[in-house]
């Protein structure tokens, strides 16, 4: 059940990072920073979309990747509304996860067209590491802007 705890930690940080984005001038949030998804907004939205895909689609048997128009999210309130929608559905699922569900195997199609069999737990861990990679990217971009990122380590989170 540690994977579910890790997702709780990610959710906590996701909210802290959205708050931090909300404190920046909007043009800074949109500025092309030559990163994986160009702007802070797009990196953040990518993380929310991946959460939606992994937890609300892939694990549930729907392999369609949710497509969003990043430009439609022209303020933090719209990003937050999308986040609330995705997290509400994900949290409803995660609140009912059992050890048996974590061990359930699912087929995952790879980019090259091949499929692999993985457990639900490994899908959740994969999502966690995907978001961690992008969170590190956000941290570096905040540092480049001379802004302290709102990060909290895992053990600090466990003891808050």
What CATH number corresponds to the domain at position 62? Answer: 1.20.120.450
> What total of structural domains would you count in the chain?
1
Distance from C-alpha of 53 to C-alpha of 123, rounded to nearest angstrom: 11
Pairing of strands 105-109, 115-119: antiparallel
Instruction: Give the pLDDT confidence score for residue 55 in this predicted structure.
Output: 96
Instruction: Give the pLDDT confidence score for residue 144 in this predicted structure.
Output: 96
Q: 159: phi > 0 → left, psi -120 to 50 → alpha, else beta; which?
A: alpha
Domain containing residue 113: 2-158
pLDDT of 1 strictly over 80: no
Instruction: Give the pLDDT confidence score for residue 53 in this predicted structure.
Output: 96
Instruction: Give the pLDDT confidence score for residue 13 in this predicted structure.
Output: 96
The answer to whether the CB of 53 falls within 8 A of the CB of 86 is: no
Instruction: Give the pLDDT confidence score for residue 113 in this predicted structure.
Output: 87
Question: What is the mean predicted confidence (pLDDT) over 60-75?
Answer: 92
- Predicted structure pTM score: 0.94
């Amino acid at each position: 059940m540690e994977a579910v705890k890790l997702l709780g930690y990610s959710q906590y940080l996701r909210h802290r990072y959205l708050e931090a984005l909300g404190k920046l001038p909007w043009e800074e949030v949109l500025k092309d920073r030559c990163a994986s998804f160009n702007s802070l907004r797009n990196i953040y939205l990518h993380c929310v979309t991946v959460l939606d895909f992994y937890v609300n689609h892939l694990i549930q048997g729907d392999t369609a990747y949710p497509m969003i128009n990043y430009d439609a999210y022209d303020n933090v309130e719209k990003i937050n509304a999308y986040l609330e929608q995705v997290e509400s559905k994900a949290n409803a699922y995660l609140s009912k996860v059992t050890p048996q569900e974590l061990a359930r195997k699912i087929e995952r199609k790879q980019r090259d067209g091949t499929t692999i069999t993985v457990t639900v737990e490994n899908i959740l861990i994969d999502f966690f590491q995907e978001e961690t990679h992008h969170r590190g990217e956000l941290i570096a971009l905040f540092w480049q802007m001379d802004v302290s990122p709102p990060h909290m380590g895992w053990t600090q989170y466990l003891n808050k």
